[in-house]
Amino acid sequence: MKKKLMHAVILSAACVLCAGHLAAAETIPSGDPEEQTGAVSDPEDTDEALSEVKKMLEVGEETDPTEKEYVSLKEVQVYESPDENGAVAGSLRFETKVEASPAERAGWSLVTANDASGERVHGYVVDSALSRTSNIEAAKEYLTVSADSEVLDYPGQRDGDVIGEVMEYDEVELTGLIGSTWGRIRFLDDELEEKEGYVLTDILPGAEELAQTLIEQQAGRADENADADGVDAGTISESSGSGIFAEAEDHITAGVSENSYGVMVGDPVAVSSDAKLIPLGTFRITHYCPCSICNGPYINGATSTGAVATTNHTIAVDPTQIPYGSKVVINGQVYVAEDCGGGIKTNCIDIYVETHEESDAKGVYYTDVYLLEE
């Protein structure tokens, strides 16, 4: 719509320009042409002016800043100004389609979208919460569940909440795929009401193969687009690096290295014997890693505070109970509260680890937790 309006305005200007030249030509008095100075523009001037109008049209198409993007988090706050300490205008849920344009502050976008209740929301969202493409590849397959499983409201064990369950041999409809790890299904709950949620594809025979086929198709389309744009597919181009992720790199501290999978690994820090500790109570301790099982589509290594998640260092907390930046002692080791999660409620802490195997091996346990006072 904006492009059409811009075209209409510029074309109107072109018409006015041409009409002006015609009017000038009609009012030329007869007589010696040499005496008629400045009455009519040179035809070359007209061609040049029309050429400028054409350039304006081309620029108008290229510089329209509005794009369709999708929310990649379970829920994101929309602010009245590009400031996370500012007033909240509303919130948007996972996979909501938004109209987005760059905000005046780096790392933010100005968005307009309908929220879950259908209300129109307009405001600012951090860029890290948006994806240029849909997080879900549409599918329509009827499959038989191979094992009992909980169904989550978001494709990530860290942020997802249980909304139901499916049992072995249940028939479900697969309506979408998030990579090859998560499937969106339509199922019947205990009251026989139809719901939609997310399960791991390993309980849906045939889903992983379908996901792989879709991934290969996407890769083929990406190669075609790259060839059309003159870009080598698979090549990472240098970026200016602005916003939350670039800033997060500045927070990587000494004693941290990057493993071959791009995970930041920190050295364990033991609490000193003379440290002053404030008891916080007994907490449920869980573990998460950077994989898509834990995080769903949001697996870029950045935490909710913008810091780079680091093993032996980062923990996810309920920030209303433990403020971000707090140093917390768990079993004699010092961690820093840098992240949160939808499933991280009161008296629960999620410790960031290197792999999903390590997360499973360490499991869930309860222990006393302390705040390190400095």
Report whether pLDDT(46) > 80.
no
**pLDDT reported for residue 257:** 63
Give every strand in the sheet of 264-266, ordered side by side. 256-258, 264-266, 310-311
**pLDDT reported for residue 156:** 87
Whole-Å CA distances, 244 to 92, 213, 240: 20, 34, 13
Report whether pLDDT(3) > 80.
no
What's the token pair of residue 245? 């992720």
Closest by Cα among 242, 245, 239, 240 to 306: 245
**pLDDT reported for residue 336:** 95
Burial class (CB in 10 A: 0-12, 13-18, 19+), 95: buried
**What's 98's domain CATH number?**
2.30.30.40
Counting runs of H as helices and runs of E as strands, what totals does the chain give? 6, 22
Q: Which of 250-254, 257-261, 367-371 has the weakest average pLDDT?
A: 250-254
Distance CA 221, CA 164 (A): 36
Q: Is the dihedral of CA 28, 33, 38, 41 positive or negative?
A: positive
**What's 306's domain CATH number?**
2.40.40.10
Burial class (CB in 10 A: 0-12, 13-18, 19+), 127: middle
- Structural domain span for residue 336: 260-373
CB atoms within 10 A of CB 113: 23
Backbone angles phi, psi at 234, to 5 degrees: 85, 0
- Contact 191/222 with Cβ under 8 angstroms? no
**pLDDT reported for residue 219:** 58
Looking at the structure, tell me whether residues 101 and 157 fall in a common domain: no
177-190 tens-digit pLDDT: 988 889 999 999 88
Helix axes 43-63, 2-26, angle to 10 degrees: 170
**pLDDT reported for residue 51:** 63
Residue 24 included in any domain: yes
102-138 tens-digit pLDDT: 999 888 999 999 998 999 999 999 887 888 888 898 9
Report whether pLDDT(239) > 50.
no
Residue 113 included in any domain: yes
Read off the amino acid at residue 161: D
pTM confidence score: 0.59
Residue 324 included in any domain: yes
Looking at the structure, tell me whether residues 290 and 361 fall in a common domain: yes
What's the token pair of residue 306? 């913008």
Residue 357: strand, helix, or coil: helix
What's the token pair of residue 121? 């929301």
Q: How confident is the model at residue 218 (pLDDT cuts 50, 70, 90)?
A: low
Average pLDDT over every residue of 261-271 = 83
Average pLDDT over every residue of 59-87 = 79
Looking at the structure, tell me whether residues 355 and 272 fall in a common domain: yes
**pLDDT reported for residue 290:** 84
**pLDDT reported for residue 100:** 93
Q: How confident is the model at residue 237 (pLDDT cuts 50, 70, 90)?
A: very low
Residue 252 included in any domain: no
**pLDDT reported for residue 223:** 55
Burial class (CB in 10 A: 0-12, 13-18, 19+), 164: buried
Total structural domains within the chain? 4
Distance CA 45, CA 49 (A): 6
**Beta bridge partners of residue 277, listed in sequence order:** 372
Q: Is 324 left (phi over 0), alpha (psi -120 to 50) or beta?
A: beta
Report whether pLDDT(35) > 90.
no
Report whether pLDDT(288) > 80.
yes
**pLDDT reported for residue 18:** 47
Looking at the structure, tell me whether residues 96 and 181 fall in a common domain: no
Residues of the chain with pLDDT > 90: what percent?
Answer: 39
Report whether pLDDT(326) > 80.
yes
**pLDDT reported for residue 98:** 95
Distance CA 139, CA 183 (A): 9
192-212 tens-digit pLDDT: 899 999 999 999 998 878 877
Residue 368 included in any domain: yes
Q: How confident is the model at residue 149 (pLDDT cuts 50, 70, 90)?
A: very high
- Contact 154/178 with Cβ under 8 angstroms? no
Q: For residue 194, what are the contacts with CB-CB under 8 A and spacing of at least 6?
A: 186, 187, 188
Looking at the structure, tell me whether residues 204 and 285 fall in a common domain: no
Closest by Cα among 356, 337, 190 to 263: 356
Residue 235 included in any domain: no
Looking at the structure, tell me whether residues 125 and 86 fall in a common domain: yes
Q: How confident is the model at residue 232 (pLDDT cuts 50, 70, 90)?
A: very low
